[in-house]
Structure 1
Amino acid sequence: MTRNKYNINFLPKDFQNYILRQIQSEGIFFRISSPRKSKLGDYRYNKIRNTHSISVNIDLSEIHFLITFIHELAHKKCHELHLGRVASHGKEWKQIFVELLEEAKKELKLKSTWEEEIMRNINSPRATFTGFNLDDTDALSVSDLSLYSKFELKNGRKF
């Protein structure tokens, strides 16, 4: 299915329903963003308008789109509970993130690989994904390289 920034029809139906229900119940402005190298998603609170907004990159796999949405939703809930007085990825945020992941895991139909990714985030909640680009068969991690290997990043930096 072709993706565009105006709908989430590329996601499984239960993912769509989960996200839409959260957007409505939490009063969130939601936006699907063009691919960004610096971040996968974003949560913002506008003090003047008293509004919450979440954006998620359009180029993420289905499960990473969902997890990123949940990650940003955890920021929104943490902000409301603690009024921005806690670390953005501190223990309070981690607790909320894990609770939301567990709730989603119970509610959604997940392929075994998706369930593994959810469990990885439940067992070790982090600010970013490890092994993020699971579909990129050409990707290597630093641990795959031999000592003193030379390599180049997509942005052209050489090491």
Structure 2
Amino acid sequence: MQNTLKSYIPEQAIPKIIDLLDHDNLTVKIKRERKTRHGDYKRLPNGKHQITVNSNLNTYRFLITLIHEIAHFEAYNNFGRLIKPHGKEWKHTFQHLMLPFLNPKIFPSELLPLLAKHFKNPKASSDTDEKLAFALKQFDEPNDKTYIFEVPFGNTFKLYNGRVFKKGHKRVKRFECIEIKTGRVYLFNPNAEVELLNDVNE
């Protein structure tokens, strides 16, 4: 596992991660990209526990996701099966596990203030933290995707599944977008990545 992880997380983080994963009944699997999640944790029918993380994440996103899922395992072990998945027990565990990693030997200096703020009250997904999510994406491999907040008002864009939308006004945090085919209104995170289309549907 140590050799595998070297390709996915910052080198300075490896010893600490190996210590956290030192459980006989916990396994980590690296998966191909899943559009709806970065990773997950589940208790298997045989009583063992499994964590999965997407292989396409940049090293910093991968590390945060891995610790996020380890926190589920630790919270389950320490507080039992009846806790809420992202309740106070998980939040406290995630904060405790993440703290030793929040240093400039592991994360770039520009990420540390955003991470420190985020971990005062970690959310179920770091994608909901607009500033942190945008900062983390700067370390992704270049692609031809556009963020929702960059799409001009009234322009159309396409999702990975082929659905086409027209961008509308911003609510408090998210953008209203109308699906062209159905006319239904959906709310989009500003950092959602989409394919900008040249034509504008009136």
Query: Do the structures match in fold with TM over 0.5?
Result: yes
Partner letter of residue 115 of structure 1? L
Aligned: 1:154 with 2:160: yes
| CA gap 1:137/1:67 in 2 versus in 1, 3 angstroms | same
Taking the aligned partners of 2:150 and 2:117, their CA distance within structure 1 comes to 21
Identity in percent: 27
Which stretch of structure 1 is more off in the superposition, 148-157 or 67-76? 148-157
Alignment equivalent of 1:83, drawn from 80, 84, 87: 80
CA deviations over 1:98-157 (Å, ceiling 9, x no partner): 221113225953321342453243134122222363335754433334443322222211
CA distance in 1, matches of 2:24, 2:16: 12
- 1:32 and 2:38 aligned: no
CA contact (8 A) 1:41 1:69 kept: yes
Correspondences of 1:41-80 after superposition (within 5 Å): 41-46=39-44, 48-80=45-77
| Cross-structure match for 1:102 | 99
TM-score (norm 2): 0.64
Q: Distance in 1 between matches of 2:111 and 2:16?
A: 15
* Partners of 2:54 and 2:62 within 8 A in 1: yes
Structure (1 or 2) with the greater strand fraction: 2
Report the structure, 1 or 2, having the larger helix content. Answer: 1
Post-superposition Cα deviations, 1:46-93, rounded to whole Å, max 9, x if no partner, equal 2x4321111111111111110001100111111112322122112221
C-alpha deviation, 1:25, in angstroms:
4.8
SS in 1 for 2:22: helix
Greater Cα offset, 59-68 or 14-23? 14-23
TM-score (norm 1): 0.79
Provide the aligned length of Structure 1 versus Structure 2.
153
CA RMSD of superposed structures (Å) = 2.6
Paired residues of 2:51 and 2:70 also in contact (CA < 8 A): yes
Residue in structure 1 matched with residue 137 of structure 2 by the alignment: 133
Q: Which has the higher contact order (CA 8 A, sep 6+)?
A: 1
What is the one-letter code of the residue matched to 2:43? Y
Residue 19 (structure 2) aligns with: 21
Larger Rg: 2
For structure 1, the residue ranges without an aligned partner over 5 or more in a row are 1-5
Which amino acid in structure 2 is aligned with residue 41 of structure 1? G
